[in-house]
Structure 1
Amino acid sequence: MKKLLVLSGDSYHVPFIKKAKEMGCYVITCDFFEHNPGHQFADEYHNVSYMDKEAVLALAKTLEIDGIICFAADEAATTVAYVAERMGLPSHPYQSIEIINRKDLFRAFLKKHHFQVPKAKSYTSIEKAQAEFHLFKMPVMIKPVDSSGSRGISKIDSVEFLPQKIEYALQHSKVKRFLIEEYIEKQGYQVGGDGFSVDGELVFRYFSNNHLSNTPLNPFVPLGGSWPSILPAHLQNKIHDEIQRLLNLLQMRTGAYNFDIRIDQEENVYFIEMGARNGGNLIPRITNYATGFDLIEYSIKAAIGEDCRDVSMAQSQGYWSCYTINSQKSGIFKGLEMNEEFMKRNVVEYELFVKPGDKIQAFTGSDKKLGSMVLTYSSIDEMLEKMDNMENWIKVIVEESLVNN
């Protein structure tokens, strides 16, 4: 029986843990949240932070694991690669994971290898950033170099907002470094979705239409994705080729990826982010519904060194989306109201992470999500219309007056 160490037992990891058990693995979870729901499904739990690479390595050596894996967390993906490389376990190169998980290193790598990349520079000093701000074409993005889930990100078009937005970015940066990057005007929807490589070859990918928040709180945090992509075939193939070129340069191996990509008005491909792990928000589940390909199963196979050479592209069937249940204001959660016809026609499954009476926060990043939904539709038009106007179908009831009581 192979021992698999899973970094985190949060709700998104429950399907991973259950699947690994079905596949005959002895599953060990570790994080510092002992009440996370996934731990009850594991064979063993250890209270060790997955952010502490050395502590996880020591634990992994003691346990004599056969594989290590994470889901939807870039910080954990770094630890996975670090531990795997030092123990000779299956994974991607640690140096490559460090590059793609740091926005400043990733932008520099892309520029060096002649990918399309916006003008960008990282800083630790507000004063230096102010002095060089005139060198950038407005508008610009201010980003922490090492955050995920759209936390700490802002778009500005004037130097007067720079100090405030830098402070906001630094609040979400562990290394206390931020990036100024020229904004990319996108054509259509931002491109998301997941993929899978075998021995470095991108053998499966399923691109989505990313639906971003249209409110002032954080207009860059994804509300969800919809499938299939409405991009024409030639653009999907162009993106595929650019991903493959990137995988070759990074010497990636076998495993899953999550993409965030923009296409500009001239059909140039820009990598916003690429994570060497599955996407969150139920993306693997939707991929399985739509294509029959089980990303979770094959991610586990890759982690424990099993043969994945039977993976291939699969045709999409039907129209699907994931949606992040969220609130645009902080307060006390009172409940969720859903249109009855929408519930019957479109909702496949959903999960709430909160209960009535819980304090909730406004949706400024993916860490503030209240739940997730898998939805299905009868047509692309219905899918896009509902995803872009979800407030007409789902309402989060919040009592603001009690938030400070």
Structure 2
Amino acid sequence: MKKILLLGGSAQQVIAIKTAKRLGYYTVLCDYLPDNPGQYAADKYYNVSTTDVEAVYKVAMDEKVDGILAYASDPAALPAAIVAERLGLPSNPSASVAVLGVKHNFRKFLSENAFACPRNFTFNVGADIEEVKEKIQELDFPIVVKPTDSSGSKGVTVLKSAEGLNAAIAWAESYSRNKILIVEEFIESNFPAVIGGDIFVWDGQIILYGEMSCLRGNHGNGLVPIGERYPGGMNEKQINNIHTELQRLITALDIRFGELNIEILLDKEDNVHFLEVGPRAGGNMIPIQLSDIFGIDLVEANVLAAMGKKPSINQQKKKGYFVTYVLHSYQNGKFDGVFISDLIIDNVYRKEIYKEKGDLVETFDGAGKAIGILFLRFDTEMELNLFCANTEKLVSISLM
């Protein structure tokens, strides 16, 4: 019985464990959180941090695993690649995974390989604030301050002037593990949304393009993703530009297989700017959403690819307009329930709720504080647009 080592056992990662078991693999799980739900689904569990390369390597050696998968996990993607390389297991080059995983390295790579890239500079937490302010004057406002090693817009602030810089740095630092921050020019765009979603690569070629438009929260800074819609509303030229640049990037980095999460902005000339290309499946159940849209099983594809087996992806889009909505609250409290308007109740075809009645709910500032996810399908683009324009009237969270 072949073994697969899975790095991460959160609620969103359990499906990868269950899928691997369904495919007949013996599942070994590493996760440092003692209350992770994945331990109850896996065949064997190790209380080991997924970012501890040597500890993961020891588990992989002791268990004699045949493949390693860091499903939907940014921090675990590089350790998975390093350990798989050491053991001669299926892997993308760890050097390429390292480039994708840290923003300042990625920006450097983009510039050196003639991809569109905003002007930027990096600095360490604790750097002299006056020196940072001097460097900022070399950029055009607005600017963006962010950690170099987080995703999903965590710790990100947009500034129209140097006012608020100290708070922006503190916010970015709170989400940074490596304590290296980046400041870059804001990309002005004619397209109204960040383009997100996932792609899937096999044998160095993208075999699934799953670009969508991101929904962002209206409260707070409006940067945190609260869903994805498909089709995304891009015209044919924009889609072609996106596909061309994505494949060029995959080729330049020698990415061989697997699902990658994308965040893209189009500038005023429709040039493609890569905000992030994460070397792992997207969070907020993007693989499930794309599986629904295209009639495939991307979770299964991730497991098979990690085991060196070619996945079956025959892309055939289903009829309709699809959107996910991340259930969230902008205040702390105890979960009481979800209100869904009768106007859209029949459009909800899947509902994942992470909380039980009475569970603590925290103010939403990232995917880790989501309450659940709704999956909706509409017959017309007008219905989809109406939902996206009125999400907080049509869906709400009740707190005790």
Structure 1 and Structure 2 fold alike (TM over 0.5):
yes
Aligned 8 A contact 2:51 2:76 in 1: yes
Q: Secondary structure at the match of 2:57?
A: helix
Match of 1:380 in 2: 381
User: Comparing 311-320 with 297-306, which one deviates more in the overlay?
Assistant: 311-320
Q: Secondary structure at the match of 2:12?
A: helix
Tell whether 2:202 aligns with 1:198: yes
Distance 2:388 2:4 in 1: 37
List runs of 5+ in structure 2 lacking aligned partners.
none
Match of 1:350 in 2: 351
List per-residue Cα deviations over 1:67-122 (Å, max 9, x = no partner). 01022221111111111111111111101111111011111110111111111111
Distance 1:121 1:80 in 2: 29
Aligned 8 A contact 2:4 2:69 in 1: yes
Match of 1:276 in 2: 279
User: Comparing 349-358 with 98-107, which one deviates more in the overlay?
Assistant: 349-358
CA positional deviation for 1:355? 2.5
Match of 2:120 in 1: 120
Tell whether 2:131 aligns with 1:133: no
1:328 to 327, 330, 334: 330
Q: Secondary structure at the match of 2:212?
A: strand
Tell whether 2:56 aligns with 1:52: no
Match of 1:402 in 2: none
Going from structure 1 to structure 2, the CA distance change for 1:89 and 1:37 (only over 3 Å counts) comes to same
CA positional deviation for 1:25? 0.6
Match of 1:306 in 2: 309
CA positional deviation for 1:382? 1.1
Match of 2:26 in 1: 26
Distance 1:299 1:170 in 2: 32
CA positional deviation for 1:279? 1.1
List runs of 5+ in structure 1 lacking aligned partners.
400-405
Tell whether 2:231 aligns with 1:228: yes
Tell whether 2:288 aligns with 1:285: yes
Distance 1:317 1:285 in 2: 16
Distance 1:102 1:162 in 2: 22
Tell whether 2:17 aligns with 1:17: yes
User: Comparing 345-354 with 240-249, which one deviates more in the overlay?
Assistant: 345-354
1:317 to 311, 316, 319: 319
Match of 1:361 in 2: 362
List per-residue Cα deviations over 1:145-190 (Å, max 9, x = no partner). 1112321111111212111111111121111111001111231221
Q: What does 1:139-154 correspond to in 2, within 5 Å? A: 139-154=142-157
Match of 1:403 in 2: none
List per-residue Cα deviations over 1:282-326 (Å, max 9, x = no partner). 211121221112111111111001134x54543343211111101
Q: Secondary structure at the match of 2:20?
A: helix
User: Comparing 89-98 with 323-332, which one deviates more in the overlay?
Assistant: 323-332
Distance 1:169 1:379 in 2: 40
User: Comparing 315-324 with 76-85, which one deviates more in the overlay?
Assistant: 315-324
Aligned 8 A contact 2:28 2:42 in 1: yes
List per-residue Cα deviations over 1:116-139 (Å, max 9, x = no partner). 111111111142212211111111
CA positional deviation for 1:388? 3.1
Distance 2:10 2:165 in 1: 35
Tell whether 2:157 aligns with 1:165: no
List per-residue Cα deviations over 1:26-73 (Å, max 9, x = no partner). 111110123322222211111101021111111111111000102222
Distance 1:361 1:35 in 2: 18
TM-score (norm 2): 0.95
Q: What does 1:87-126 correspond to in 2, within 5 Å? A: 87-124=87-124, 125-126=127-128
CA positional deviation for 1:200? 0.9
Distance 2:314 2:110 in 1: 27
Match of 1:392 in 2: 393
Tell whether 2:267 aligns with 1:260: no
List per-residue Cα deviations over 1:197-217 (Å, max 9, x = no partner). 1111112111111111122x2
Distance 2:193 2:161 in 1: 26
Aligned 8 A contact 1:149 1:367 in 2: no
Aligned 8 A contact 2:81 2:91 in 1: yes
AA paired with 2:235?
A: P
Aligned 8 A contact 1:282 1:374 in 2: no
Aligned 8 A contact 1:122 1:178 in 2: yes
User: Comparing 111-120 with 126-135, which one deviates more in the overlay?
Assistant: 126-135
Q: Secondary structure at the match of 1:149?
A: coil
List per-residue Cα deviations over 1:309-349 (Å, max 9, x = no partner). x5454334321111110111223333222213422x21111
Distance 1:166 1:260 in 2: 22
Match of 1:296 in 2: 299
Aligned 8 A contact 1:126 1:166 in 2: no
Distance 1:126 1:144 in 2: 17
CA positional deviation for 1:377? 1.0
Distance 1:82 1:323 in 2: 35
2:217 to 202, 213, 218: 213
Distance 2:278 2:302 in 1: 14
TM-score (norm 1): 0.94
Distance 1:286 1:351 in 2: 12
RMSD over aligned Cα atoms:
1.5
Q: How many residues align?
A: 396
CA positional deviation for 1:394? 1.0
Q: Secondary structure at the match of 2:164?
A: helix
Match of 1:337 in 2: 339
